Amino acid sequence: MDKQVGLNVARPIIERASTTPSRRLEAIFGRDWKIAIPFVLPIVVIMAGLILWPFINAILLSLTTRNAITRTEQYVGLANYARLLEDTDFLVTVKNTFVFTFVSVGIKFVVGMIIALLLNSKLPFRGVLTGLMLLPWIVPEVVTALTWRSIYDPIFGGLNPILMQLGVINRPVAWLAEPGLALASVIAVNVWKGIPFYTILLLAGLKAIDKEHYEAAEVDGADSVQRFRYITLPGLRYVIVVTTLLSFITTFNTFGLVYLMTGGGPGGATRLFSILAYEKAILGLRFGPGVATAFSMAPIMALLIFVLARFMRPDEHRGDKESRMDRFMAWLGDIIGVLLDIIFVPMQWIAARTSKVLTVLIPRDRTGERRLKRSQRENIGVVSRLIMLLPILIFVLFPFYWIVITSFKTDLQIQQFTSIYWPNPWTWEQHRSLLQDTPFLTWFRNTVIVATTSTAISIAVAALAAYALARLKFLGARMLTTLLLITYLLPGSLLFIPLYRILTELGIINTYAALILTYPTFLMPFATWVMLGYFRSIPVELEEAAMIDGASRLTSFWRITLPLAAPALLSVTLFAFTNAWNEFLFAFVFITSENLKTLPVGLQLLVFGDIYPWGKLMSASLLMAIPVVIVYIYAQRYLVEGLTAGSVKG
């Protein structure tokens, strides 16, 4: 009885203690909200100031037009959008953009799948071949554009002589100057640049499929096409959808590659909507119509981002119930399967015929038959796969070969078109002239300053935010994670115009700060997403043991979790630095002073009108690509691990 009375007396005291202001705040904002503030505040400030506000500003700006007399922005409502429906240039750019995107993505997917399947099989020097296939991905965009422009050149390029010697054409072709060929030519370059993205992710997906499934299917008599259709495709469903959507969004918003190669010409044949938005807003100083042009494609981007966000972050509480998204993806997977069957059945036929031809090389036995040992069959399979891989390998490596040989030629060799495929003699003239007669070293210095500083800021902020999202409980964590994904997918073509105005108003346009502040907008979200996936894989018990011993949350993060996440940290640092080193659009728009230009923008200053000093350009391209290639070779396995560990992990 006395015990019950004591409990009745103590209960109100306990209830009052549990409803203290601190407890009530925890009930509202989450258990770890105080600890989470210093971890997530930097990324929230950056996202709000440099992504959310410019995005809102862009929407408001798209509803205005510039008054030529007062030189002020005048509200016009949806008039800018309405005019687009009657703008012939806009309608042509929409058509060009969709053709460019669908054809590029389709070819990249098919070729990337073929390469991934070949590299996932038994091949000699498979690691070296994989590294070579991934090289186009890390080459700066400006280097890619200038190199292929040199190859396409109707007078000094290397493509026309090859095709003429093969009998494909009987006269030199101006690939980038003829409206009927220009779009196809830039699509080919986009495919060359984008194939590694598909290869690296599809290859990672193939490695995750249990090989016992293939062995069981082979025992049951399934041929290679059937194994591909009923084992490989279902196993790659997640990777295929995520990779294709990411590639579609990136390709749809392409700017630098096409602008550097053709400027949108000839006659608008390669003008994409992002180029038209730039021409209206920056060149024509019509910010409202320019933003409206960029935002006209926003509904499509929003739909793709919504589907991708739902797919990458499925509802954890739905249990085993099949959702509409699941049914849609299953239906889409069936369609993709049928299309790939149409493509890969001929590939299987070619492989079978190649193996049959190679079998002829096996000597007959005493009975006059060719009986193949298991090792001989395996060797024939390896040779067949190498033969199939060879044309793709040539396509991938030829631009690198062209850069090297052109950079070691004299101007006279290039102009007289002698010794096309080999310098005779080799010379350092182009490199010496580049370093002594141009501001190349100044551009190099600017790029190092901007890339290293923006990368350091982005990785530091991303690591703090990712840890908070992976470990701490606070209000808005789930929403912030989703916003990070959306921010990562938000194209630069929607932000560069309002950012330009904001930076101008702040007085930091045409300074290092303009790039150092804006680069984290596309570096930080991806780094956070990858680090988030990696932090979740680290056992939380290690941190709890450290905190029991008296360590604070920040100390356990710094001394325990961060060192264990070193592979992911290195991979995102490499990825961020590569993207900052190669960035073109923001550097092109925000920097006008030659002394502050970065390498991607500075290289185009070597061109005078229609005169292209190919020797200097290829020398500059080689010197610009070397630092990234060296870093990539040193840490490529960490890059692969990081990209497949957190960013597209299913």
Q: How many CB atoms lie within 10 A of CB 641?
A: 18
Q: At residue 427, what are phi and psi to the nearest 5 degrees?
A: -150, 150
What pLDDT is stored for residue 182 in this prediction? 94
Mean pLDDT of the chain: 80
Q: How confident is the model at residue 445 (pLDDT cuts 50, 70, 90)?
A: very high
pLDDT tens, 191-231?
A: 999 998 888 888 878 877 877 877 787 777 776 667 777 78
Whether residue 314 has pLDDT greater than 50: no
Enter the tokens of residue 108. Answer: 């990249």
Q: How confident is the model at residue 552 (pLDDT cuts 50, 70, 90)?
A: confident
What pLDDT is stored for residue 506 in this prediction? 87
CB contact set of 646 (below 8 Å; sequence gap of 6+): 529, 530, 531, 532, 533, 534, 568
Topology of the domain covering 31-61+438-650: MetI-like fold (1.10.3720)
pLDDT tens, 317-338?
A: 444 555 665 666 666 666 666 6
Domain range annotation of the chain: 31-61+438-650
What pLDDT is stored for residue 447 in this prediction? 93
SS3 content of the chain, % helix, strand, coil (to 5): 75, 0, 25
Q: Whose CA is closest to 574, among 530, 521, 515, 511?
A: 530
pTM for this entry: 0.80
pLDDT tens, 267-308?
A: 899 999 889 888 888 777 788 888 888 888 878 877 777 776
Q: How many CB atoms lie within 10 A of CB 603?
A: 25
For 215, the enclosing helix (H) or strand (E) is helix 211-219
What pLDDT is stored for residue 310 in this prediction? 65
Tokens 């024939």 belong to which residue? 380
Whether residue 379 has pLDDT greater than 80: no
Three-class secondary structure of residue 611 per DSSP: strand
Question: DSSP H helical segments within 438-592, as ranges?
Answer: 440-471, 477-489, 496-506, 512-518, 520-536, 541-548, 553-556, 562-564, 566-582, 585-590
CA distance 587 to 591: 6
Question: How distant, in Å, are the alpha carbons of 63, 277, 293 from that of 84?
Answer: 13, 11, 7
CA distance 574 to 222: 42
CA distance 357 to 410: 45
